[in-house]
Every structure is written in C-alpha cells, then in structure tokens.
C-alpha cells in the first residue's frame, strides 16, 4: 500500500475515489434510479459530461442510457427547481460551480512560452506537473457535477421531476443558452431584493422553536464554514508551494551531484532522488487535503446556503400568511371582499404549512447528511495523512541509513 | 593532531550603551592559548575588524580567508520573510549563528588559527576598537576584492595557463557557485513558504475551532475541535521545520557561496600579471642599457645597469610570488574541498534527521485524531 504513492503517473486521486464520487454526501445507491457521470471530455472552453443513467422506473424508454450535457444545462436544471413553487419546501441541491480551467490553462501557456529558458528535463517535469494539475481540476469538476445529480436522484420528490427526466434522457442538445446580460442583470436585482427581504423576514421571530434554532444555527454555521473554507484553501496553497520548492531543490541537487568530483556527489545524488520522491508525496498530501477537507467545506458552504434559502422561503410564506390573516380580519371588519380574503388566507396557510412540514424533514436530513459526510471525510483525511507520513518516513529513514553507512 | 576549539556566541546587552555585545567562549586544548577555557566580550564591528586584518594579510597570497558575516541579514536573493526588525529575537539569533560559524571557519584554518590577531581576538579582554566599519563590512571587502578582480579583467590578461589544474579548478568553482546560488535561492523560498504554511495552518486551526463551536452535533463538534488542535500542533511543527531548513541548510549554502567568491584565483592572476610586467620592464631596461653602450654616457650607463639589477630581482621575486601563491592555492583548495565535503555531509544528515522527526510527529498527531473522527456517530 505504501508504494502506491510513488509511481510516476499523474494520477492524483487515490484508489479510494474510484467508486461513486459522491464523497461529500452519504447517499444510498438505489436500484430504481442510479445516475453517474461515466465520462467527460474537455474541449477548448467547455466540458462535455456524459451522464449515464440506470433505471427500472417505467418513465424511461430504456433501462440504461447516456446523454452528453454541458455545465449550462446543469444550471438550467438547478434553476428550474429553484423557480418551482412546488419545491419551495425543499433544500434544493446546490448547483455545481462552473468548470474553471483558466488558471491552469494560463500556466500551461506560460510554460510553452518559457520553453527556451529551461533545460529539457525541467521543461518535461513542469509540463507533467501542470498536466497533472489540469487533470486534478478536471476530476474535481466531474465529481461536483456528479454529486449534484446524485442528490437529485436520491431525493424522493425531485427524482420524479419532469425536467430532470428530460435532462437525463433527451439525447439532443437542450438548447439552454447561458443567461444573457439582461437576464444576469435581472438576477442581480432579484438577489438584492431577496437579501433585503431576507433581512425583514428573518427579523420575524418564529413561534416554532425548532425553526428559530435552525435559523440562528444556520446563519452562524454558514459564516464559519465560509471562513474555514477560505482558510483551508490558503493552507493548501502554501503546501503546494512548498512542494514545488522541494522539486526545484531536487533538480539543483541532481546537477550538483553530477558536476561534483568529490565524495559528496553521492550524497547529492541520493538526496536529490529522495526529494524527488518526497515532494511527490507532499503534492499528494496537498491534493488529498484539497479533496477531503477543502472540497467538503466548499460543498457545505453551498448546501448551508441552500438551507438558508429554504428558511427564507418559509419565513416569506409565514409573513404572507400573517399578512393574509390581517387582511382577512380587516375585510371582515369592513365586510368587503371577504370571500376573496378568505381564499387568499387559505392559500397562504396551505403554502406555509406545506413548506413547514417538508422543511423540518429536510433540515433534519441535512444534519444527518452533514454529519455522515464530515465523518467519512475526516476519517479518510486522517488515514491518508498517516499513509503519506509513513511513506515519507520510510523513504527518509532508508536514505539516512545509506548515507550514514557511507561516512 | 587532535584538538578541539569550540566557540559559543551568546548575546548580552550592555545596559549603559545601546549596542549588542556577544560573549565568545573558547574551549581548547592547544598550547597556543594561556588557558583551556576563556570568555571575552566582542561587538559586531570587532568581528569585521578581525576579518579585514586577515584579508589584508592573507588574501593576496592565496589563502581562502572566510568572508566576514553580512552586516544586513537579508538573503542572497533578497527574499524577505516579513519585516526584519533589527532588535527582533530572530535577527539577533541569525547574527549570532553567523558570527559563530565565521569564527569556527577561521580557527579551523590551520594558518589563521596561529595568527596573532586571531589569538588576540579570542583571548584578550580589551580589544582596540575597529575604526571604521563601513569599509570593513563583508560586503565592503567583497567590493574591494571584486574591484581588484575587475581591474584585472579590464587589463584583458590572457594568462598562459601552463597548469591545467588551475583551469579545471576555476571552472569547477564557477559551476559550483552557480548551482549553490540556485540551491540557496530555492531553499530560501522553501523557508518562506514553510513559514507561510505555518501561519496559514494556525489560521485554519482557529477557523476549524470556531466551526466546531457552532456545529450542533455533539460528536462532530468535538471532532472538529480536535482537528483544530491537531492543526495547531502541526503549525508548530512547520515552524520548527522552517527553522531547521534555514539554520541547517540555507545558512550553510549562503556561507559557501560567499566563500567561493573570495577571489583567490583572481589574486593569482594579478600576481602572474605583476611578474609578467616585471619581465617586460626588465627587457626594456636591457634594451635601454644596450642603447646606452654606444652613447658614451658613463653615468647613465651605470644607472641603467643598476636598474637592470633592480628589475632582475623584481622578476625573480615575481616568479617566487607566483609559485608561492600557486602552491598556497593548491593547498587551500584541497583543504577547502575536504572541509566542504565534511560540512555538507554533516549538514545533510542533520537536515534529514530533522525531516524524520517532523514525519514522526505528524504520525503521532494523526494517529491520535483518527479514533476521534471514527467516534462521530
């Protein structure tokens, strides 16, 4: 097991991640509907995901089929859930973030430009590393898109959504273009209104203790997860930088070793070899921390936001209900438009109660999922850290033994 | 002949005046000194003064004189890690360590150890104050040496190198210099990033603790607090490792880069050039004398003959000087190589041992955390 980290392949994801990539969510794999992303292709400025479905449900024409989807179509699906009044009482699975290869692509380009200024070995090494980085980002974006689909498929109501089925089955382009400038501006204003409204709505004290607690909890939790996510990113970036330095040190030691005519050249070469191996391990440590810790925190940042959105919708419905009550009282007092007021009040009441009921369950499920995901990831993080530290230790000790034996 | 001269530098503050003084303790079994163990107080300028004396005595005859410690402790590549506060503990420690290494290198040189200035420096309670330290700083000396080297180069000397050994060694030293500088720069970068990593890990630890506080599932909350503790310990570890990176690895490399640029080969070229000039001069004097033979000017002829004698002596001296400096450099380079090999071997092993320790600690911390993570129910 310890030698695993020492091969030359650019494979940054360890063996454990080859299974269902839904690492951040603990989902039961249900035979009636299984969705995964079986393949992905990265082209110039877009990624094409092959969405593969296995289902025994009668809604689908076949039991197993695949379609090709792009990021915008995932967003379309997510937005259709958000805009659907029927789903107001659910935590809408957060949309996957846009695939961002800009930084990686820029680095590869810079490398190409600087080809003349470095030795062939240095160039090949850097190219391999950048390609590995690109691959890691690629695998991550695939995982995040897959998690979104799996969450939808696991949800008792969302899995039946018509748009979802179209998304899974329709083998032509869904022709959903990204939002144009006007629509993006509309969204922006909508969000401003929503935030302002959210402040008003959240100010309303809830009679229900459970929801009052959840509101307070989620607000604080969301902010702290955001902070932890940012700090973990910074920590991991420093780790990667340190690993890069060790790489350069290894190269220079190698040159020194080949140039040196004295006894110490053996030392240089041996230590250079050692550092080549240990820095690969360090890079893997950073990559694993990224997957198990940083991605986990990022995911729960998005999910806690989705939970907050649910609470907002419920709060909004509550305010509407209370307003409808007041309106009804007024109407009765004036004896004007009473019927209309009664209907409105009924509708608001039903809406509020429906949301409340499912929201409670959703929030409980959220906690269960969260605890399970943290447990899984923290355990795996610790196990990987141990594995890598032991690997490093073994390399260091065997190198030391050789060097000490020589002096 | 086995002997042990140990020098420790510890900082003492003189309450009256605002300068830093260093306690130099020597432990030795050599007969050169009056006692076996003695301590003196020295200031930074005293060290520079010692170096300038040694440089003026020995550099031009081909001894590799250890370069004086840098006045400003900024790395060769000017990589700064935060503000270098002159009174900060870190700065003082860096300087103390540099001074100690400087003295150790000096006394390890068999000829320098016997030098009266060195003995006086180590032994006598009172030392005449070094006059002007500006020109005497390590960088100052370097500038002087480099200027001399430049002057040599400007004369476009094409030295007939009859000795392949020198050509080879010079090339080797140049290559070594290039690679050591590169290595030094990378190690400094590593020190910088490790310090950054330590800071960011501490920051993350605090953040994780906060997250643990707001988590309302008890077991998960506790596990997150434990994670925060682990990360806090790891940040300490990173700090210690950065310290080792620096003191073991980086400083050694810096010392060697400065040693190599001490310029012995240039002095040899200068000596050779002086010898050649003397030969040219002698030739001219001989020609002048030959001309005067037929000029019937007995006084001038006598003077010319005397000048010839003078320049013959100078040529002989020039040749002797050249042979002496060549011999000295050969011996010095041999000694330097031996010392270099020893130094690097020792430091590399010490450095790897520090890395081993870090990994062992990491294993300990994560092994303690794992059951906590598994206990989340």
**Tens digits of per-residue pLDDT, A339-398?**
988 999 999 999 999 999 999 999 999 999 999 999 999 999 999 999 999 999 999 999
Put simply, whether B352 touches A (Cβ < 8 Å) is yes
* Inter-chain residue contact A256 with B348, CB threshold 8 Å: no
Put simply, whether B176 touches A (Cβ < 8 Å) is yes
Res. B265 pLDDT band, cuts 50 70 90:
confident
**Are residues A246 and A282 in contact, defined by beta-carbon separation less than 8 angstroms?**
yes
pLDDT at B149 over 70: no
Q: Which of residues 203-222 of A touch B (CB under 8 A)?
A: 217, 220-221
Measured between CA atoms, the residue of chain A closest to residue B367 is: A386
Torsion of CA B235, B241, B247, B252, to 10 degrees: -140
* Spatial strand order in the sheet of A46-55: A33-43, A46-55, A64-70
Taking contacts as CB-CB distances below 8 angstroms, the residues of chain B near A275 are none
Chain A nearest CA to B375, separation (Å): 8
Say what the pLDDT of residue B143 is.
Answer: 59
Q: What are phi and psi of B77, to 5 degrees?
A: -100, 15
Q: Which residues, in sequence order, are CB contacts of A372 under 8 Å at separation 6+?
A: A26
Chain A nearest CA to B75, separation (Å): 16
**Tens digits of per-residue pLDDT, A280-314?**
999 899 989 998 999 999 999 999 999 999 999 99
Taking contacts as CB-CB distances below 8 angstroms, the residues of chain B near A239 are 197
Query: Which one of A242, A389, A397 has the shortest CB-CB distance to B362?
Result: A389
Report the alpha-carbon distance of residue B284 to residue B276 in Å, rounded.
12
Chain B nearest CA to A206, separation (Å): 19
pLDDT at A272 over 80: yes
Query: Which one of A242, A252, A389 has the shortest CB-CB distance to B179?
Result: A252
Q: In angstroms, how far is CA A115 from the centroid of its own chain?
A: 35
Nearest-10 crossing angle of helices B138-154, B264-293: 40
**Are residues A271 and A232 in contact, defined by beta-carbon separation less than 8 angstroms?**
no
Put simply, whether B196 touches A (Cβ < 8 Å) is yes
Alpha carbon distance, N-terminus to C-terminus of chain B: 69
Q: Which of residues 204-263 of B touch A (CB under 8 A)?
A: 204, 206-208, 210-211, 213-217, 219-220, 223-224, 227
Res. B20 pLDDT band, cuts 50 70 90:
confident
Tally of CA atoms within 13 A in the half-sphere of B113 that contains its CB: 17
Task: Identify which of B258, B265, B260, B261 has the alpha carbon closest to the alpha carbon of residue B325.
Answer: B265
**Tens digits of per-residue pLDDT, A349-366?**
999 999 999 999 999 999
Once rounded to an integer, what is the mean pLDDT over residues A73-88?
93
Task: State how beta strands B20-27 and B37-43 pair.
Answer: antiparallel
Measured between CA atoms, the residue of chain A closest to residue B206 is: A228
**Tens digits of per-residue pLDDT, B214-224?**
998 999 999 99
Res. A44 pLDDT band, cuts 50 70 90:
confident
| CATH ID of A198-406, from 1.20.1270.60, 1.20.1250.20, 1.10.10.10, 2.60.40.10 | 1.20.1270.60
Put simply, whether B81 touches A (Cβ < 8 Å) is no
**Tens digits of per-residue pLDDT, B195-239?**
999 999 999 999 999 999 999 899 999 999 999 999 999 999 998
Per-residue b or e along B130-169, where b marks 16 or more CB atoms closer than 10 Å to that residue's CB: beebeebbbebbbebbeebbeebeeeeeeeeeeeeebeeb
* Inter-chain residue contact A260 with B197, CB threshold 8 Å: no
Per-residue b or e along B52-86, where b marks 16 or more CB atoms closer than 10 Å to that residue's CB: bbbbeebbbbbbbbbbbbbbebebbeeeebeeeee
Put simply, whether A393 touches B (Cβ < 8 Å) is yes
Higher pLDDT, A401 or B155: A401
Taking contacts as CB-CB distances below 8 angstroms, the residues of chain B near A257 are none
Alpha carbon distance, N-terminus to C-terminus of chain A: 32
Query: Which one of A228, A390, A404 has the shortest CB-CB distance to B211?
Result: A228
Taking contacts as CB-CB distances below 8 angstroms, the residues of chain B near A386 are 363, 366-367, 370
Report the alpha-carbon distance of residue B240 to residue A339 in Å, rounded.
77
Taking contacts as CB-CB distances below 8 angstroms, the residues of chain A near B200 are 231, 234-235, 237-238
Ordered by start, the domain boundaries in chain A are 198-406
Chain B nearest CA to A241, separation (Å): 6
Handedness of CA B310, B312, B315, B319 (dihedral sign): negative
Q: In angstroms, how far is CA B147 from the centroid of its own chain?
A: 20
Task: Identify which of B205, B200, B202, B203 has the alpha carbon closest to the alpha carbon of residue B224.
Answer: B205
Report the alpha-carbon distance of residue B124 to residue B38 in Å, rounded.
9
pLDDT at B290 over 50: yes
Report the alpha-carbon distance of residue B50 to residue B39 in Å, rounded.
17
Say what the pLDDT of residue A4 is.
Answer: 31
Interface test with A, best of B221, B362, B372 (most A CBs within 10 A): B362
Interface test with A, best of B168, B336, B344 (most A CBs within 10 A): B344
Report the alpha-carbon distance of residue B269 to residue B149 in Å, rounded.
9
Instruction: Give bridge partners of residue A35 from the DSSP assignment.
Output: A53
Report the alpha-carbon distance of residue B102 to residue B252 in Å, rounded.
11
**Tens digits of per-residue pLDDT, A26-43?**
555 567 899 999 988 888
Report the alpha-carbon distance of residue B156 to residue B153 in Å, rounded.
5
ipTM attached to this prediction: 0.84
**Tens digits of per-residue pLDDT, B332-370?**
888 888 888 888 888 889 999 999 999 999 999 999 999
Put simply, whether A401 touches B (Cβ < 8 Å) is no
Interface test with B, best of A247, A249, A290 (most B CBs within 10 A): A249
Question: Exposed, middle or buried: residue A99 (CB in 10 Å: 0-12, 13-18, 19+)?
Answer: buried
**Are residues B253 and B187 in contact, defined by beta-carbon separation less than 8 angstroms?**
yes
Q: Which of residues 269-288 of A touch B (CB under 8 A)?
A: 271, 274, 278
Report the alpha-carbon distance of residue A216 to residue B34 in Å, rounded.
78
Put simply, whether B147 touches A (Cβ < 8 Å) is no
């Amino acid at each position: 097991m310890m030698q695993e980290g020492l091969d030359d392949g650019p494979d940054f994801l360890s063996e454990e991640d080859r299974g269902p990539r839904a690492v951040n969510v603990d989902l039961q794999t249900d035979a009636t509907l299984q969705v995964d992303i079986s393949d992905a292709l990265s082209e110039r400025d877009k990624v094409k995901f092959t969405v593969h479905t296995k289902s025994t449900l009668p809604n689908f024409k076949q039991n197993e089929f695949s379609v090709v989807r792009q990021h915008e179509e995932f967003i379309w699906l997510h937005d259709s859930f958000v805009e659907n009044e029927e789903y107001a009482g659910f935590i809408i699975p957060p949309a996957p973030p846009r695939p961002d290869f800009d930084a990686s692509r820029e680095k590869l380009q810079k490398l190409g430009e600087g080809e003349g200024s470095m030795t062939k070995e240095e160039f090949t090494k850097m190219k391999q590393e950048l390609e590995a980085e690109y691959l890691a980002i690629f695998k991550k974006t695939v995982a995040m898109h897959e998690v979104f689909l799996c969450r939808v498929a696991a949800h008792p109501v969302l899995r039946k959504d018509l748009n979802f089925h179209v998304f899974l089955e329709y083998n032509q382009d869904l022709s959903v273009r990204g939002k144009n400038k006007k629509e993006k501006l509309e969204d922006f204003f909508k969000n401003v209104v929503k935030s302002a409204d959210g402040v008003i709505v959240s100010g309303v004290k809830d009679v229900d203790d459970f929801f009052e607690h959840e509101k307070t909890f989620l607000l604080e939790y969301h902010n702290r997860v955001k902070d932890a996510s940012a700090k973990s990113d910074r920590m991991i970036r420093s780790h990667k930088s340190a690993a890069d330095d060790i790489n350069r040190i290894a190269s220079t030691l190698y040159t020194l070793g080949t140039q040196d005519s004295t006894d110490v050249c053996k030392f240089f070469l041996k230590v250079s070899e050692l550092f080549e191996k240990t820095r690969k391990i360090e890079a893997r440590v950073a990559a694993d921390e990224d997957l198990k810790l940083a991605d986990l925190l990022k995911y729960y940042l998005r999910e806690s936001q989705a939970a907050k959105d649910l609470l907002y919708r419920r709060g909004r419905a509550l305010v509407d209900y209370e307003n409808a009550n007041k309106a009804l009282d007024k109407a009765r007092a004036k004896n004007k438009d009473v019927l209309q007021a009664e209907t409105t009040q009924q509708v608001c009441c039903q809406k509020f109660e429906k949301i409340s009921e499912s929201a409670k369950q959703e929030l409980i499920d959220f906690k269960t999922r969260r605890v399970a995901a943290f447990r899984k990831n923290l355990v795996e993080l610790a196990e990987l850290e141990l594995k890598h530290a032991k690997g490093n230790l073994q390399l260091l000790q065997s190198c030391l033994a050789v060097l000490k034996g020589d002096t | 002949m086995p002997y042990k001269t140990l020098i420790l530098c510890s900082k003492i503050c003189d309450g009256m005046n605002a300068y830093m003084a260093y306690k130099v303790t020597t432990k030795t079994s050599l007969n050169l000194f009056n006692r076996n163990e003695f301590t003196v107080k020295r200031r930074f300028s005293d060290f520079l003064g010692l170096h300038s004396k040694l440089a003026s005595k020995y550099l031009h005859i081909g001894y590799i004189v250890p370069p004086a410690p840098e006045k400003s402790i900024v790395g060769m590549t000017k990589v700064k890690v935060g503000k270098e506060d002159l009174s900060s503990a870190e700065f003082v420690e860096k300087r103390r360590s540099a001074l100690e290494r400087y003295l150790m290198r000096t006394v390890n040189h068999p000829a320098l150890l016997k030098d009266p200035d060195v003995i006086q420096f180590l032994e006598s309670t009172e030392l005449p104050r070094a006059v002007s330290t500006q020109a005497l700083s390590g960088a100052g000396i370097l500038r002087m040496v480099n200027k001399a080297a430049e002057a040599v180069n400007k004369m476009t000397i094409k030295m007939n190198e009859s000795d392949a050994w020198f050509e080879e060694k010079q090339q080797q030293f140049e290559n070594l210099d290039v690679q050591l500088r590169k290595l030094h720069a990378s190690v400094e970068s590593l020190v910088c990033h490790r310090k950054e990593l330590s800071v960011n890990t501490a920051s993350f630890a605090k953040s994780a603790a906060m997250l643990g506080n707001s988590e309302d599932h008890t077991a998960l909350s506790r596990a997150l607090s434990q994670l925060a503790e682990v990360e806090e310990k790891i940040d300490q570890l990173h700090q210690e490792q950065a310290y080792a990176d620096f003191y073991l690895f980086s400083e050694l490399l810096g010392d060697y880069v400065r040693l190599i640029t001490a310029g012995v080969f240039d002095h040899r070229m200068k000596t050779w050039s002086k010898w050649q000039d003397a030969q040219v001069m002698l030739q001219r004097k001989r020609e002048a004398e030959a001309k005067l033979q037929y000029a019937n000017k007995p006084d001038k002829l006598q003077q010319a003959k005397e000048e010839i004698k003078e320049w013959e002596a100078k040529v002989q001296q020039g040749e002797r000087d050249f042979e002496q400096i060549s011999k000295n450099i050969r011996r010095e380079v041999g000694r330097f190589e031996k010392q270099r090999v020893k130094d690097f071997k020792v430091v590399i092993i010490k450095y790897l041992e520090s890395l081993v320790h870090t990994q062992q600690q990491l294993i300990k911390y994560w092994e303690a955390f794992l059951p906590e993570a598994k206990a989340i129910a």
